[in-house]
Structure 1
């Protein structure tokens, strides 16, 4: 997914503890634009590498490393991962591209350069995709496992954005958190595309979650469950009303997100909904729902 430039830039950025939105702010561009260059869907414009070097305060050695990566990205189109028949097709196309009719090339361009929005993502709907069953207990246990992997037991507010942007990639090499523009997300707040090692968040949701917005933090947690449990599911039909809720991808993601933001062990310690919402970094509505689910009466 990442180009040589993207891999190098992301490593340098994460080594410095710099969020994508921080780099974007220093460059005077949006988080989605900075993300697009990092993941290779936007070309490296003249002068961009120099701007990044200055914005990040890179050393001469690091700057040279980034320049080399940019040169490799501009020069390479990797096909070594493709099956032999597809590599032969790419080679044949390269030889014949100048001979193809303009109208055919335009149709091909629209087909090939489609955005990730044309894939089949797990979208946030009232009824979600039909997936393998997971009970409330199983999802809460998974949330506790995720908590245990990243924070100590006494940590109340789960640092979801720190985990997604800086820490999950150390456990799952190749993982990326990718902010996209509102247009690219086509109405979605978050998205996981089957087979892709990434979580896509709408740019304002990404930035809002970093600022501590409870709803946006919930969305980030919601998409994490899709990534962990559903990204290899492939195409799945929508669950019918007659089918059990515990097979609904959206219900599973919401159940997991609530438990990740508010651990059952902490629920009895809160003074009320407002206290729980503030300490867990979630909306009052979500806090009230979780306290009710845990059987904790509001004081």
Structure 2
């Protein structure tokens, strides 16, 4: 995951080379070694050419080999420069991306849940239509997930360290001495889990609003033809029944619109609840 506050051009560079990010994270250096076999193969090839042909053949072969070596060197040099630049960029922004390897499995799963919730919100029709604009989802939600990811990375690191420091079998009476540290880790996990549940609650409300929105759009198309239906009823049903059917049409349209408005309102309330406890 990449810090959403980074400039777009840097984010694109980092996303395009996950293997470079791993190299930067592990401190691995670029492999700039060349195949030493070429030192023996090329002279041997030229000698064989001389034995089979003459100096003219050797000259032509040398030119051909020289061109091949030059083109290969240019391609490798360009590739090495690109890799070196991206590696330097990854090292410079090492604190602005989080990889799966930075998290333990439970934290990976929790982060995935947060990302899924945000993806559901940002891909929803009501979001694209601007109907849940109580917060700037496009900016706020990626930042929210990034804040969660940062804390999960720290929690994973501390949890691993905690596991190394605490013996598997504690002497009698020593459990209470270690308990506050375990409790602190559990409290952090509980807090982050609750934060993710808030995101998921918001996503569920948005998905619900999306379904109602889809139905509402169909109803709007049908509502445009309401006069035709009313005319049909008025022409074919007796007065008392006609008035009743016309009223039912109007009531159903109003009820559907009310359901749609309520679902949007619930989604906005869920967003507001998310904002009331920001991660800082």
Shorter-chain TM-score: what band? under 0.3
Higher RCO (C-alpha 8 Å, min separation 6): 2
Structure possessing the higher radius of gyration over alpha carbons: 2
Higher helix share: 2
TM-score, normalising length: structure 1: 0.20
TM-score, normalising length: structure 2: 0.21
